A and B are shown apart, each in its own frame.
Chain A
């Protein structure tokens, strides 16, 4: 009988006492396409190595051949749980480069949309933490309110997940009555749902046992690892782009920054919960401010920027100038002024930055996305060192790792 082995084992794999386990790229617990090669001693994690790039789509390269308005669709696909924030962040970057001043109403409309997106992002993250710790119910409770948020998007821009919402200079159309009605419904009903969701989790003994002390990080380490957003605030650092570098008139709103202390999964959960309440506050204030507007201010939904903002279709058919602008914009023939600009917004996961260099051509010379997820995922091996495998899975979901944002 032949002694030839057909299965080739790696060198030393029989003698070694640890087990190698692949979490991902298509593991149900990863909630996205990325891989963790975990070295296990029994149930304990000795080391973890992350691999990313499975859905890398070369957005930065593609952006170098696209006119500005076509790049919005690329930003949708970064953090697809809160794509309107990415869209608005991109529009604001361009507006900063062009020096456009937007009417207050546009800013407030954007704030409403961005806070809705933040709620839907945090809602998914927190309910998935629940799913991964064995509590499926909460996920189902909140899902219909994410659905309602998506319906609001639909009323505004026509699509749900990859929204491609708004344009450089404002929105493509004014909010319809249906959009306002749905928003009012959301504002009236959502607080009770969120309260119910919290009742299920926040003081739930099983949930607390599973999440307290899982994947903790100190504020110093979190800063050193480039954490931003809820994950950084859970570690006790009160950095929020909306407060530190206000954009889109965030300085007009009263809100608080929820801050944790230990940076573990439980604090991350609580910070996200707190942020959803704050987002509700911001939405209500913005709604009131818009309702209080009078006269011409009460209808404006875009800035006056003919070189970048598509004219109305009926004008295109009847007015020469509108036709020219329409043609120039659609064919991507507007020159972008040269300049170098960095603009960041508070995305669902933290500071989402756009570094845009224009050399005066029709496309960006270079566009770089600062993706918060990509930067803090490298801390994962430190967060899970010595933890149990089941903790590692909760840490993964409570960091809110979104493969689209990681890989760009």
Chain B
């Protein structure tokens, strides 16, 4: 029950044990999957590559099982939407970590947005469960074989995938968001096409109904007996 203290005299010394290098990983992967893997890059020292989406589980399983590679920690799983890429609009990105040799890699599969089916990684990593649900929730990636693929952060009734690029954030310069919608100023002319009971010209000032409490310029007369109670 007592805690043990593991002492690394210096963090740097510990990091020098690192045996596995990006080149070795790349060679092992190419030896196994030949030319099916592509786009090997090393942005900021992190080995990044891409696989066809049918192979995602095979690659993950190989990275997990291989006695030399041992990528057994799923750090992160998410998706990115590239609306421009035809047939490869959605990228599912895995960040894996080999904790023994302390080396990370990034692995991507691309899928079309029309049929965004990607195999689930929940059999390998329990942590993938919610991360895949989150990715489904925001990007609509359908993780085939997921035990409980439903929305997690958004409401269940939502019928779109909000992190896709076709749903832009509100534009600061747009004109249809007017102060009038928040009870200030005049209603814009465009909004008066709605079910407004008493039509009036857009520039005509709003006339307050007489006796409406809280209108500026009208002093509130409270009944005198309420002051007596307090």
Contact = CB atoms under 8 A, between A and B. Distances in A.
Contacts of A379: 126
Contacts, number: 135
B3 A274 contact: yes
B127 A61 contact: no
Nearest to B135: A368
Interface string A53-84: 10010101110110000000000000000000
B3 A258 contact: yes
Q: Is the interface of A mostly helix, strand, loop or mixed?
A: mixed
Contacts of A257: 5-6, 8
Contacts of A270: 2-3
A303 interface: no
B43 A368 contact: no
A266 B152 contact: no
Interface string B1-18: 111111111111011000
Contacts of A353: 75-76, 95
B3 A259 contact: yes
A278 B75 CA distance: 25
Contacts of A237: 99
Contacts of B131: 226, 375
A62 B125 CA distance: 29
Q: Please tell me the size bucket of the interface on B.
A: 35 or more
Interface string B58-99: 000000000000001111101011000000000001010001
A298 to B, nearest CB: 25
Contacts of B80: 357, 365-366
Nearest to B169: A65
A258 B6 CA distance: 7
B95 A226 contact: no
Given A64-B169, A375-B131, A407-B153, A342 B95 contact: yes
Nearest to B138: A60
Interface string A203-233: 0000000001000000001011110000000
A239 B97 CA distance: 11
A31 interface: no
Contacts of A341: 43-44
A139 interface: no
B130 interface: yes
A226 B153 contact: no
B76 A53 contact: no
B162 interface: yes
A107 interface: no
Interface string A366-393: 1010100011111100000000000000
A271 interface: yes
Contacts of B6: 238, 256-257, 259
Nearest to B129: A378
A205 to B, nearest CB: 14
B112 interface: no
A361 interface: no
B154 interface: yes
B4 A261 contact: yes
A355 B162 CA distance: 18
B102 interface: yes
Contacts of A261: 1, 3-4
Nearest to B7: A256
Contact of A378 (B8, B74, B99, B126): B126
Contacts of B2: 270
B7 to A, nearest CB: 5
A346 B15 CA distance: 16
Interface stretch (A20-28, A123-131, A242-250): A242-250
B48 interface: yes
B75 A351 contact: yes
A260 interface: yes
Contacts of A271: 3
Contact of B10 (A60, A254, A339, A407): A254
B130 to A, nearest CB: 5
A355 B79 CA distance: 11
Contacts of B81: 366
Contact of B12 (A65, A224, A246, A365): A246
A251 interface: yes
B162 A61 contact: yes
Interface string A270-282: 1100100000000
5 contacts: A250-B11, A259-B4, A340-B48, A353-B95, A407-B153
Interface of B: 1-12, 14-15, 43-44, 46, 48, 72-76, 78, 80-81, 93, 95, 99, 102, 104, 106, 125-127, 129-131, 134, 138, 152-155, 162-163, 167-169
Given A256-B8, A342-B76, A368-B78, 5 more contacts: A226-B74, A246-B11, A250-B11, A351-B75, A353-B95
